[in-house]
Amino acid sequence: MTKKKVLVGLLVLVVLTAVGLGAFNFSNQGHKSSQQNSSSQKSSEQKLTNLPKGAKSTDWDLVLVNKWHPLSSEMNFDKATVSGATVDARIKQAVLDFQNGARAAGYQTNLISGYRSIQYQKEVFANVKKNNIAEGMSDEEAEKATAAVVQSPGSSEHHTGLAIDIAGSDAFEKYPNLEANMDQFASQKWLIDHAADYGFVLRYPKEKSQIKQTGIDYESWHFRYVGVKNAKYMKAHNLTLEAYVKGLQAAGR
């Protein structure tokens, strides 16, 4: 074998060794990176501490209804009428106190809606879909367009009787179709800031991470009754109902 061939052979061996080591290091680094990401993700899922005494994920006022937890049948509870809207009778006084509190602070409010049955939601969904088809959409397109603006029957929190749409009268006058920027009004800001004092939370906040949890865009008018102790805890820790219920379950509650 000539000296030239030996040198070429050695050079090829060096290159192959370097490539092999590089691939090993890359794989090892990828594995470490994956471990670090997993560790980081776990650390971001902090356990909830100092939970309200006696609070359990199965409590009636913490029932979770959303697109991932839809109802298959109507809920059974006593109903009451307050300010023209139907709600679970157990929260009637809380709704009145919420409105009276706003009035005492100098703000008139409109209670726009409360309980809606699954059957009613089906009718609303069907009518909107029908209108979309009449405008030239295919059945599939109409279904998708309708689902973008109307909750699928069974997945609306209004089925629980624990959710209310409420707005400052001035905000509602300007935005009768309900829009997120109603929160520009002092009346709506008051409702958002003081809801927890009456057992309510702003159900669909504006932070992107929270929108991912709820599956619903920011709604400055939609409030959910969860009880005073739960509401104050959720507000203090900036929690959605999804995150709070998950935290209670993780704590064995």
Domain range annotation of the chain: 60-116+156-250, 119-151
Q: How far apart are CA 251 and CA 99, in angstroms?
A: 34
Q: How far apart are CA 222 and CA 65, in angstroms?
A: 14
Structure tokens at 97: 């106190």
Cα–Cα distances in angstroms (integers) from residue 1 to residues 4, 6, 16, in the given order: 8, 7, 21
Position 145 scores a pLDDT of 87
pTM: 0.79
Q: How far apart are CA 107 and CA 189, in angstroms?
A: 11
Position 148 scores a pLDDT of 75
Q: Which amino acid is at 164?
A: I
Position 151 scores a pLDDT of 83
Position 45 scores a pLDDT of 52
Mean pLDDT by 10 residues, the chain (253 residues): 42 41 44 43 62 96 96 96 97 98 98 96 92 95 85 94 98 95 98 98 96 93 98 97 96 93
Query: Coil, strand, or helix at residue 207?
Result: coil
Q: How far apart are CA 180 and CA 168, in angstroms?
A: 13
**Residue matched to tokens 């359990």:** 56
Position 46 scores a pLDDT of 59
What dotted CATH number matches 60-116+156-250?
A: 3.30.1380.10
